[in-house]
Structures are given as C-alpha cells and as structure tokens.
C-alpha cells in the first residue's frame, strides 16, 4: 500500500494514460488501414506495408528530433526558463522542415524508385508508388505537428496531443472507409484512398495545432521561433539531439531493412509481417508510453537538480517496464487466435503469421526494457550517445548482416530468418543494463543566463 501512495506512481499515471491512448490511436490508424485493405486484396496490404516503411523511418526522424527537444525542454521547464523552450522548439522545427521537405520531394518525383528498395514485384511497386505520391503532402504537415506536440509533452501537456490524435484517427478511419469502399458516392480508390485519407487527416490536425497554439498562454506554434538564435542552445541541441536522431533513424532504417530482407524472400511473408507489425504495435504501446512519460518526469526532476530523487524514480520506472513487457506479450498471445481466424491471407502466409506472432510474444519484453532505458531514462539525463552507439552496433553490425547471411547466403526458411532478426533486442541487454547501473546518464544539462550572453546574428 505504501508503494501505491508514492507520488511517482500518481505522476506517471497522469502522463502515461494520455500517452498510451495517443499511441493506441496511432496503432489504430495502421490497423484500420490493414483491416480495410484486407477487403481489397493481399497485394494492397503488402504494397502499403512496404511503402509505409518510409513513414516509419520519417517517424523515427521526428521522434528523434522530438526527443532531443524534450530532453532540453523538460529540464528547462523544471528550471522555469520558457524562453529557452521557445528557442529549442525553433531549432527542432528547422531540422524537421528540411528533412520532411526532402522526403516529400522524393515521394512526389521518384516513388517507383523508392518502392524498388523493398521489392521487385511490379504490381507492388505500382500500387506503392501511387500511395507514396499522395502521401508526400502528409510528410510536410507531420513534421511540424510532431515537433510541437513533443514540446507540449515535455512540459506535461500530454492531453492536447491525445485530443488531436483522436480527431486525426477518427477522420482518417472515416475517410478510409469512404475512399476504400466508395461510400456516399465516392469512387473506390483502394490503396490511393488510404493515402488521401491519411494526408487530409494530417492537414486538419496541423490546423488544429495552430488553433491550440492561438489559445495557449505559454508554448505556442510560431514560425518566428525559427529565427531565435542562441549559440549555446544550438550547440546543446546538436550535441544531444543528433545522437538521439541518429539512434532513432538507424533503428527505423534497420527495421525497414528487416522488412526489405523479408520482402525479397516471399510476398506471403510480406503480407504476414504487415499484420504482425500491427499487433506488435499494440503489444508495445504501454512500454513506449512508460518510456515517454518517464523521460518527461525524470527530465523535470533533473532540471530541478533533484538527482537522487530522479535515480530512485528510474528504478521504479524499470520495474513498471518489466510488468508492461509481460502484459504486452500476453496481449499478443490473446490477439493471435483472432488474427488466425479472420485474416484473409494465403495458406502459406497464415503459417508465417502464426509463428511470427508467437515470436513477438517474448520479443516485446526485450523492446520494453531497451526502449524505457535508452529512450526514456538515459535521454532524461541528456545521455543520447550511448543509445546511438548501442543500436548502431547491435542492428548494423549484428542483426542486418546476420539476416542477409541467413536469407541470401544460407537461404534458410523464412521463419528462421525472421527468428534471427528478432534476437536483436536481447543481444544488447547486458550493455544497456550495465550502463543503467553505472549512473553515468544522470546529469543536469541546463545552463544559466542563456539570453544574457551575446547571441548569434
């Protein structure tokens, strides 16, 4: 009973619930796409799954930028320096707009080339290219939205993001139904309809961000922040954010390459994997929420210079994470019979689906512990470099070469290749846990009198 009365659990609960709802809503969009495309055909599911790998990479870019902004903003919020928060938001927006614009141009001009990275199947390339071309509009809106919501989360305003995501999800699902099934006299557009629905919902979500900003008394979404200059803050953002950004991009690209390895083996495996990803997203939603919420709370405590209290709260967070990993695995196990009963896949794809889901029942525990420590605890103290190095070695020196060797040299069966790729999270456990116990991540990264110094022109 004493543990339950600990204020940490109340604080983490207030942040975790809206973040988990937000993550569930994001997972629900992917689920809605897959479920509705299930009525269009296996090729539609496979093409959108492969094309969405670029959105996954872009999401990791935005997540990395948002994490970098959160690391600084959470600590400066604990310190009470709002001007520093505005400057950090402007820095993150600069990077976000440049990167999202680059993706948008590629998706608009060379979508077929982008699809050939993942598959040689002409039908999948054609369907995926039409999807990417329309989605180019979405990328620009998405970059701005994610940075602004990350800054709001860093100061504890997580319910705003939940409300906006709720609106975006509902809009997306309704428009999916309209354009996939041709409701209310609309044409049946299939894959193209999914792209239109996603782009429209993101554009409307961006408009709502500006509405929230207009009514906000503290943190606003202003393009004028792009021109706020401070050399020290910029150098801190680069020093802290680039490893976080590199970490998340390496992680996202590596997962896309996992999909590419599977995609070049068997179209049935691609279709099965697209459903597995949806289920896994639901299984990891709680641990990802704990990582985000824990990072915010710990960052604010460290910014207030309450280092011992932050270290104590980190231990409690790790315990909660282990519980979330067990619950995530049980959830995947519970969903498995329904997926096997209602999925409209070939017999071979159904065989793959069954065993891929079983592998993920324990895989989520590895993801839970690593995500909370690397993306939550370590980054709360400004330590983003360790995660970058850890994932670079684990995924790019171990998992990807192992997957390529198993798939293209040894020519192992699809499920063996998938199993080997899913050992990546557990390989890095010893180093991650050792770094956590060392306490080297626990640092106050804020500065004094930032805007009393001469700023950059």
Express each pLDDT in 231-284 by its tens digit: 888 988 888 888 887 887 788 788 878 888 988 887 788 888 888 988 898 888
pLDDT band at residue 200 using 50, 70 and 90 as cut-offs: very high
Under 8 Å between Cβ of 63 and 295: no
**Cα 455 from chain centre:** 34
The yes-or-no verdict on residue 454 having pLDDT over 60 is no
pLDDT band at residue 162 using 50, 70 and 90 as cut-offs: confident
Q: What is the pLDDT of residue 101?
A: 92
Q: What is the pLDDT of residue 363?
A: 94
Average pLDDT of the residues in 193-209? 90
Mean pLDDT of the chain: 86
Helix (H) or strand (E) holding 121: none
More confident of the two residues 2 and 96: 96
Q: What is the pLDDT of residue 10?
A: 87
Q: What is the pLDDT of residue 456?
A: 42
Q: What is the pLDDT of residue 191?
A: 80
What single-letter DSSP state applies at residue 442? Answer: -
Q: In angstroms, rounded to a whole number, what is the distance separating the alpha carbons of residues 91 and 227?
A: 8
- The stretches of 182-263 forming alpha helices (DSSP H) are 191-215, 231-263
pLDDT band at residue 435 using 50, 70 and 90 as cut-offs: very high
Give the number of other CB atoms < 10 A from CB of residue 412.
Answer: 17
The yes-or-no verdict on residue 453 having pLDDT over 60 is no
Average pLDDT of the residues in 211-237? 87
The yes-or-no verdict on residue 399 having pLDDT over 90 is yes
Q: Per-residue b/e over 223-242, b at no fewer than 16 CB within 10 Å? A: eebeebebebbbebbeebbb
Taking CA atoms, 15 is separated from 43, 212, 282, 290, 414, in Å, by: 39, 19, 18, 9, 40
The yes-or-no verdict on residue 289 having pLDDT over 70 is yes
- Which residues, at least 6 apart from 36, have a Cβ–Cβ distance to it below 8 Å? 176, 177, 180, 181, 194
Q: What is the pLDDT of residue 33?
A: 65
Angle of CA points 428, 429, 433, to nearest 5°: 125
Helix (H, G, I), strand (E, B) or coil at 455: coil
Q: Say what the pTM is.
A: 0.75
Report helix angle 7-37 to 191-215, nearest 10.
Answer: 150
The yes-or-no verdict on residue 93 having pLDDT over 80 is yes
Q: What is the pLDDT of residue 34?
A: 65
Which tokens is 307 given? 């280092």
Q: What is the pLDDT of residue 90?
A: 92
The yes-or-no verdict on residue 185 having pLDDT over 90 is no
The string of DSSP letters for 33-62 reads HHHHHTTT-HHHHHHHHHHHHHHHHHHHHH
Most confident of 119-123, 276-280, 322-326: 322-326
- For 9-66, how does the pLDDT look when each residue is reduced to its tens digit (9 = 90+)? 888 888 888 888 877 776 666 566 666 776 677 778 778 778 877 887 787 788 778 8
More confident of the two residues 278 and 204: 204
The yes-or-no verdict on residue 299 having pLDDT over 50 is yes
Residue pointed to by tokens 């937000």: 22
More confident of the two residues 341 and 37: 341
Q: What is the pLDDT of residue 1?
A: 47
Taking CA atoms, 38 is separated from 42, 124, 138, 181, 282, in Å, by: 7, 15, 23, 12, 19
């Amino acid at each position: 009973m004493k543990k339950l009365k600990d204020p940490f659990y109340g604080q983490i609960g207030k942040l975790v619930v809206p973040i988990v709802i937000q993550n569930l809503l994001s997972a629900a969009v992917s689920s809605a796409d897959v479920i509705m495309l299930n009525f269009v055909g296996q090729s539609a599911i496979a093409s959108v799954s492969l094309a969405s790998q670029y959105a996954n990479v872009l999401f990791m870019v935005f997540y990395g930028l948002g994490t970098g902004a959160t690391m600084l903003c959470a600590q400066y919020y604990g310190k009470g320096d709002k001007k520093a928060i505005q400057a950090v938001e402007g820095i993150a927006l600069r990077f976000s707009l440049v990167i999202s614009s680059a993706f948008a141009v590629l998706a608009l001009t060379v979508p077929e080339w982008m699809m050939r990275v993942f598959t040689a199947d002409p039908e999948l390339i054609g369907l995926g290219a039409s999807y990417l071309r329309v989605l180019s509009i979405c990328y620009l809106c998405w970059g701005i939205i994610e940075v602004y919501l990350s800054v709001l989360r860093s100061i504890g305003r997580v319910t705003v993001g939940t409300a906006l995501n709720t609106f975006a999800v509902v809009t997306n699902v309704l428009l999916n139904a309209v354009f996939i099934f041709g409701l209310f006299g609309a044409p049946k557009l299939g894959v193209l309809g999914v792209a239109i629905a996603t782009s429209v919902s993101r554009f409307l979500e961006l408009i709502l961000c500006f509405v929230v900003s207009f009514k906000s008394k503290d943190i606003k979404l202003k393009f004028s922040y792009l021109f706020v200059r401070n050399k020290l803050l910029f150098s801190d953002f680069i020093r802290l954010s680039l490893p976080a950004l590199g970490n998340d991009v390496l992680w996202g690209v590596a997962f896309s390459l996992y999909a590419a390895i599977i995609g070049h083996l068997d179209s049935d495996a691609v279709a099965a994997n697209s459903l597995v990803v949806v289920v896994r997203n639901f299984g990891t939603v709680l641990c990802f929420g704990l990582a985000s919420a824990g990072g915010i709370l710990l960052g604010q405590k460290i910014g207030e210079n309450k280092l011992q209290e932050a270290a104590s709260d980190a231990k409690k967070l790790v315990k909660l994470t282990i519980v979330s990993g067990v619950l995530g695995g049980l959830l995947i196990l519970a969903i498995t019979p329904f997926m096997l009963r209602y999925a409209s896949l070939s017999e071979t794809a159904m065989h793959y689906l069954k065993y891929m889901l079983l592998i993920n029942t324990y895989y989520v525990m590895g993801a839970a512990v690593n995500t909370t420590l690397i993306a939550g605890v370590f980054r709360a103290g400004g330590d983003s470099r360790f995660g970058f190095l850890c994932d670079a070695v684990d995924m790019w020196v171990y998992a990807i070469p192992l997957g390529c060797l198993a798939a293209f040299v040894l020519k192992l069966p699809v499920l063996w290749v998938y199993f080997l790729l899913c050992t990546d999270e557990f390989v890095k456990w010893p180093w991650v846990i050792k770094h956590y116990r060392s306490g080297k991540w626990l640092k106050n990264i804020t500065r004094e009198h930032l805007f009393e110094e001469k700023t950059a022109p």
